[in-house]
Structure 1
Amino acid sequence: MRYPRYNSLFSLLRAARPCSRLYHYGLSPVRNATTRFQRYVIRGNQLRGGPATRVRHSSSTTTLRHQEEDSENFWRVSADDSKFWDDYVSTRPHYSAAFYNEIYNHHAAHSSRWGIAHDVGCGAGQVSAELASRFAHVVASDMNDTHLSVARRRLAVDFGQRISFTHCMGEHLIEHHPPGSTDLIAAAEAMVLMDERVALENFRRLLRPGGTLAFWFYGRPTFVDPKLRAEAQPLIDDIMVRNWSKVIRGSGARRKAGFQRAAEGMESWLDCIALDPEVWTDVRRIKWNPSATLCFFGEEACGFPISTTSSVQPSERVEEREDPEWWRNDWDIAELKNYFRVLFPGFKEVIGDRDAEIDQLFQQLNDQFGGEGETQQFTWPAVLVTATRR
């Protein structure tokens, strides 16, 4: 059976149609834009390869209401909802200089060109802002026009015309940008939601020989303290499962298929994404904190079997690093609650403002924290894949 792929969690759940409009005037939104950077963990997930059937949808709310599978628009957050977006950005990991240096050092080893970089699935613009500090121009793309509006607002003052925007799916970028025009392509949290075979062919055509492809994924916040990891982490996992299960199990067949493919990619730590040695060289897969959980939702939340695959080639380098300081966050219970509140707007649509069982789990977590205002250290599982275009 062939499952549909999507280039963002928004598109996976809302099933909005791909849009071909280009935004080359002003600044375009970029993934995870932030005004400050702190240490955090990155999780890289890998997707299982395979052809996918492309399904087109209307992006209008009216049309969505007439699509039984997609009758719930899980990402109905206005681009003008500043409180939501500020909280959304602040609760995401803030990629460290050490993390970006893994990408930049790889690129410098194969290319002397620092002209154009693409941020695919740019979200609120964190990665775009970083890339603009090293490359002459950045193209920020996303199929979610709300994300683009947020990114544009966050980036316009600092970057002006140095960042342009393309409103399309990652699989369609070659329709809007010349072949061989790009020096580096970055995709954060996006590969597990795309048809990676189509996307990788797009990326191959976009990149110059010697250009760099970097994609990554991070997972759940994870307690650093071993005792809390053993006793309190299951409470976080339970909250994650309860939230996602209500969203996924209430979805239609097509959307469930998308969730299944995404879950299998996360469960595989992106090892399922095949990089053809005829096209890509010097492939490196770095996994931080692999003892933690990369999946936001797995078999328990989905209610259907999740399988894992590996397409790692013998020539590829795979590294595993346990690092409790990786992208570290110090949160109290209120900040952890805020993380879940804006993790995915669909939770509120399905669960409402309160859920008695989840409230009880948070109370147990509060006791584990030591009470209101007490902070605990969190790290993140993450995976980064870098490769050079031959």
Structure 2
Amino acid sequence: MASYTVTTEEDNISTLTMLGPNKEQPAFAAPGFCSSNSWGTAHDVGAGAGIAAQELAKRFNHIIVSDPNEGYVGIASERLGQFGFCKSKFAFLQEGAEESSVPSHQVDLLTICEAFHWTDVSKAMDSYARQLKPGGTLSINFYGMPQLINNESAQRVWGEMIEIWAQKLHNAGGILSRGVEHMSAGLDSVPIPDQDFEAGSKRITVDTGCKMKTLNSALSMAPKQVGQGEVMELIEDDKEWRSMRDVQWLKGFFATLLPRVGEEEIQDLWSALESFADGQNVEISWPLEQILSTKRWVGAVATYVVSLRCKNDEELMMLVLSEVSKDSGSRSRTAKDLIRRDYAPSISSTTASGRRDLTISRIRTTLLADPKPS
């Protein structure tokens, strides 16, 4: 799994860097991407063993570590306890990305590293947007299967092995089949809803000497979801994601892929790969992509909502909707749904007499207290 760290520039979250497999130093940086400028709370979604959380904990005050797998949550908790961090710094949640229990507008940075393809992507994006504070940063990171470069014959055989594994994964159905389709399309299959995120989201591709490839040409890919106004950025000729490996290392890597393809099932291919490697190490490279996006501010309501006089919550939502409509154009038809999504849970948990004041207070403090940063 990759590790992602955040560094500062004049106390702003302005540079996100990624550490790749076997890396001890940042492999690339995306400078100038400014978020809410707060080091309060980060959420590592699909955290696995907590590798990204370990890096985030060096900077953020509080880290939410979540994964749907109970085993991984336990491993992350044990691992992170070994690095001298205060136990209260972390909250561990066994839950999926799509329906998080994290309250609305609580997170300054939400990152999902090498796990987006296992989610229902649209539902997960809705959950990320709900959790992020306005101005907060969403960072989605993905590197595909390693590829063998500067040895076309060896890469052709390696590609056949990956296709066999991908077919087996697809045949398993359900979440595994969906995962293959998203892995093949890469992060282009992730939609960035403009009602939730600012224009100018970055889709970053790192030229590591290879490109993201379809895992199996016979299988379908998830459709591309790249929107207008998104910035396509290429970081050229990054050799830090390359390394020299022998065939034994490739066998070890291949054995980690689930569902497993036994070495005996593809012995002829391994023999061919060994022949093309000719006893030498082969150069491998990891195709790499990242999405960086900023949670939208709802600025038009800033000085208006605080003085609302509403008889009930439905009237409040209609008034907020009318104000948002003036500011957000085509997004106005979804504004009411967004308000319900973000505030309905807290409304339903209070007494009838307290609902209006609670709702106004939450909108004021989480969305509208500060002007949008310049």
* Coarse TM-score class (shorter-chain normalised): 0.5 to 0.7
Letter in 2 for 1:147: Y
Residue number among 117, 122, 129 corresponding to 2:47 in the alignment:
122
Contact 1:328 1:378 in 2 (8 A): yes
Structure 1 counterpart SS, 2:105:
coil
After superposition, where does 1:171-186 map in structure 2 within 5 Å? 171-173=98-100, 175=101, 177-186=102-111
Contact 2:44 2:111 in 1 (8 A): yes
After superposition, where does 1:48-127 map in structure 2 within 5 Å? 92=21, 94=23, 96-99=25-28, 101-102=29-30, 105-106=32-33, 109-127=34-52
After superposition, where does 1:197-216 map in structure 2 within 5 Å? 197-216=122-141
Q: Show the counterpart of 1:269.
A: 186
Structure 2 counterpart SS, 1:355:
helix
Distance of 2:50 and 2:59 partners within structure 1: 15
Per the normalisation by structure 2, the TM-score is: 0.68
Q: Show the counterpart of 1:137.
A: 62
For the pair 1:283 / 2:201, whether they are aligned, the reply is yes
Letter in 2 for 1:272: S
Q: Show the counterpart of 1:235.
A: 157
Distance of 1:260 and 1:127 partners within structure 2: 26
Letter in 1 for 2:73: L
Contact 1:219 1:296 in 2 (8 A): no
Contact 1:220 1:293 in 2 (8 A): no
Q: Show the counterpart of 1:12.
A: none
Aligned residues, how many? 281
For the pair 1:365 / 2:270, whether they are aligned, the reply is no
Residue number among 278, 281, 305 corresponding to 1:375 in the alignment:
281
For the pair 1:294 / 2:212, whether they are aligned, the reply is yes
Bigger shift: 183-192 or 281-290? Answer: 281-290
Which structure has more strand as a fraction of its residues?
Answer: 2
Q: Show the counterpart of 2:118.
A: 193
Distance of 2:56 and 2:227 partners within structure 1: 29
Shift of the 339–296 alpha-carbon distance from structure 1 to 2, 3 Å rule, reads farther
Unaligned runs of 5+ in 2: 5-16, 297-374
Residue number among 249, 257, 263 corresponding to 1:335 in the alignment:
249
Contact 2:110 2:128 in 1 (8 A): yes
Structure 2 counterpart SS, 1:334:
helix
Residue deviations 1:236-268 (CA, integer Å, cap 9, x gap): 11111223323433x3xxxx2434433332333
Shift of the 194–181 alpha-carbon distance from structure 1 to 2, 3 Å rule, reads same
Contact 1:41 1:380 in 2 (8 A): no
Residue deviations 1:190-249 (CA, integer Å, cap 9, x gap): 222212222122111111111000102111112232xx0x22111111111223323433
Equivalent pairs: percent with the same residue? 27
Distance of 2:124 and 2:277 partners within structure 1: 43
RMSD after superposition: 2.7
Q: Show the counterpart of 2:302.
A: none
Distance of 1:32 and 1:151 partners within structure 2: 15
Letter in 2 for 1:309: P
Contact 2:2 2:18 in 1 (8 A): no
Distance of 2:217 and 2:22 partners within structure 1: 25
Q: CA deviation at 1:156?
A: 1.2
Q: Show the counterpart of 1:163.
A: 90
Q: Show the counterpart of 1:320.
A: 234
Structure 2 counterpart SS, 1:236:
helix
Letter in 2 for 1:376: V
Contact 1:96 1:327 in 2 (8 A): no
Structure 2 counterpart SS, 1:122:
coil
Letter in 2 for 1:235: V
Q: Show the counterpart of 1:218.
A: 143
